[in-house]
């Protein structure tokens, strides 16, 4: 599971999407350039989706950086999609594509370490130290029935692998936080629909599409990067929404984590087997029902208008959804895990 020893004969193109946060982009590119000696050629493509903080001007002054421009409507998935399609349209393509967020900073020698575990069909993700939370996380995920994708660092497999000094561990999916993708497998994969998945589902579905054409996924157990979220991102929860807002987020906002159809597509494609796909879709339906009933209950309480029959029916439906969620979880654990 390794590429030829001479990493210096390998070409890599780093692809990152940015929207403002210039200081993070500067740090990210500096770390990329510090790893350039590990390969024969390192190109950098930056998709600037309408930055208004001086990012465009700074990028224009950078040598050996190709800039693709958006108008602020691409969002994360759309920006990555634009970059990948631009790269695939080139006559000369690199051996590997390094997908990396601009708030992720490679440590010295990290790219060489990732290349050691890569091949023409092996995708390699990295673990990273999150400076905000002071915890280790990763761009690698395991599939668990009913629970879906979980970060490998939360799994006993991660602790066991590090305790046994295992260099790499096989995983089920990767994210674009920091991941090295071989160009041959990327060239034959069908890219996700960026219009349906313009934001946070894009990389998970891309991972599923790569798996469908024979890709294998690995994570290096060494911490090879630092990660900084910066300003806290406040995401709405179902409990804080009114019914109208929840329905809009579920059916009309494709960027939302609550988007119903997008969630079903992700559940279906990310699952590794037909059985897992059906279980995942059923789970998504149960979660949606549970969230909807919960929103109704909390909306009624917030308005201090509590017709007894409506509250009782809502609580009953909520409990039914919870039982479906719990019971299906028990049932799914009765099956042998696809990945052992």
Q: Decide if pLDDT at 172 tops 70.
A: yes
* pLDDT attached to residue 4: 41
Whether the CB-CB separation of 15 and 43 falls below 8 Å is answered with no
**Helix H segments across 22-133?**
22-34, 55-60, 75-88, 110-116
Range with top average pLDDT, 117-131, 137-151, 237-251: 117-131
For residue 281, the model assigns a pLDDT of: 87
Spatial contact of 70 and 48, defined as CB atoms under 8 Å apart: yes
> Distance of CA 334 to CAs 117, 145, 327, Å?
34, 10, 11
Q: pTM score, two decimals?
A: 0.83
Confidence of residue 5 (pLDDT cuts 50, 70, 90): very low
pLDDT at 313: 55
**pLDDT at position 7:** 56
Cα dihedral across residues 197, 84, 72, 17: positive or negative: positive
Question: Could you give the CA distance from residue 57 to residue 70 in angstroms, rounded to a whole number?
Answer: 14
**132 vs 31 pLDDT, higher one:** 31
pLDDT digits (tens, 9 = 90+) for 10-52: 999 999 999 999 999 999 999 999 999 999 999 999 999 999 9
Predicted local confidence at residue 80, as pLDDT: 95
For the chain, the maximum distance between any two Cα atoms, rounded to a whole number of angstroms, is 73
Torsion-angle region of residue 273: left (phi > 0), alpha (psi -120 to 50) or beta?
A: beta
Output the six-digit token pair for 186.
Answer: 């990327």
Q: Which residue has the higher pLDDT, 301 or 141?
A: 141
Structure-model confidence comparison of residues 61 and 246, the more confident one: 61
What does R_g of the chain's alpha carbons equal in angstroms?
21
- Cα–Cα distance, 248 to 27 (Å, whole number): 37
Mean pLDDT, the chain, as a whole number?
A: 84
Q: Which of 154-158, 225-229, 312-316 has the lowest mean pLDDT?
A: 312-316
- Using a pLDDT cut of 90, give the percent of the chain over it: 49
Burial class from Cβ neighbours inside 10 Å (0-12, 13-18, 19+) for residue 109 reads middle
Residue predicted with more confidence, 287 or 108: 108
pLDDT value for 323: 54
pLDDT tens digits for range 302-330: 665 555 555 555 555 555 555 555 444 43
pLDDT band at 229 (very low <50, low <70, confident <90, very high): confident
Residue 167: predicted pLDDT: 85
Mean pLDDT of 63-77: 91
User: What sections of the chain are H helices per DSSP?
Assistant: 22-34, 55-60, 75-88, 110-116, 156-163, 183-188, 202-212, 243-251, 260-270, 274-302, 308-333
For the chain, give the percent of residues with pLDDT over 70: 83
Where does the pLDDT of residue 106 fall: very low under 50, low under 70, confident under 90, or very high at 90 and above? very high
* Contact criterion met (CB below 8 Å) for 91 and 60: no
The residue with greater pLDDT, 293 or 7, is 293
For the chain, domain boundaries: 7-227, 238-333
* CB count in 10 Å sphere of residue 286: 21
Mean pLDDT of 161-181: 90
DSSP-based three-state secondary structure for 26: helix
8-state DSSP, 51: -
- Write out the CATH class of domain 7-227: alpha beta
Taking residues 100-105, report their average pLDDT.
95
Q: What is the mean pLDDT of residues 286-315?
A: 68
User: Does 65 score more than 90 pLDDT?
Assistant: yes
């Amino acid at each position: 599971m390794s590429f030829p020893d001479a990493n210096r004969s390998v070409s890599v193109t780093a692809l990152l999407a940015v929207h403002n946060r210039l200081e993070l982009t500067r740090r990210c590119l500096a770390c990329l350039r510090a790893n350039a000696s590990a390969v024969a050629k390192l190109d950098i493509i930056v998709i600037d989706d309408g930055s208004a903080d001086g990012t465009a001007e700074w990028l224009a002054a950078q040598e050996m950086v190709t800039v693709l421009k958006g108008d602020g409507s691409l969002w994360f998935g759309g920006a990555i999609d634009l970059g990948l399609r631009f790269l695939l349209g080139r006559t000369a393509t690199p051996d590997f594509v390094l997908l990396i967020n601009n708030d992720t900073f490679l440590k010295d020698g990290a790219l060489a370490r990732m290349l050691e575990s890569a091949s023409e069909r092996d995708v390699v993700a990295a673990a990273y130290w999150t400076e905000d939370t002071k915890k280790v996380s990763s761009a690698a995920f395991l599939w668990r029935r009913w629970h879906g994708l979980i970060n490998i660092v939360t799994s006993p497999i991660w602790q066991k692998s590090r305790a046994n000094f295992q260099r790499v561990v096989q995983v089920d999916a990767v994210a674009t936080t920091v991941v090295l993708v071989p160009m041959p497998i990327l060239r034959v994969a069908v890219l996700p629909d960026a219009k349906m998945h313009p934001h946070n589902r894009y990389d998970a579905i891309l991972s599923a599409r790569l798996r469908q054409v024979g890709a294998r996924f690995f994570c290096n157990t060494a911490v090879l990067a630092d990660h900084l979220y910066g300003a806290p991102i406040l995401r709405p929860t179902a409990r804080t929404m009114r019914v109208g807002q929840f329905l809009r987020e579920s059916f009309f906002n494709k960027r939302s984590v609550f988007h119903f159809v997008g969630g079903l597509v992700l559940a279906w494609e990310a699952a590794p087997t037909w059985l897992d796909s059906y279980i995942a879709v059923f789970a998504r339906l149960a979660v949606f029902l549970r969230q909807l009933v919960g929103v109704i209950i909390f909306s009624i309480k917030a308005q201090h208008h509590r017709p007894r029959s409506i509250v009782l029916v809502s609580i009953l439906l909520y409990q039914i959804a919870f039982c479906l969620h719990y019971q299906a979880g028990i049932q799914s654990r009765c099956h042998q895990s696809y990945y052992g």
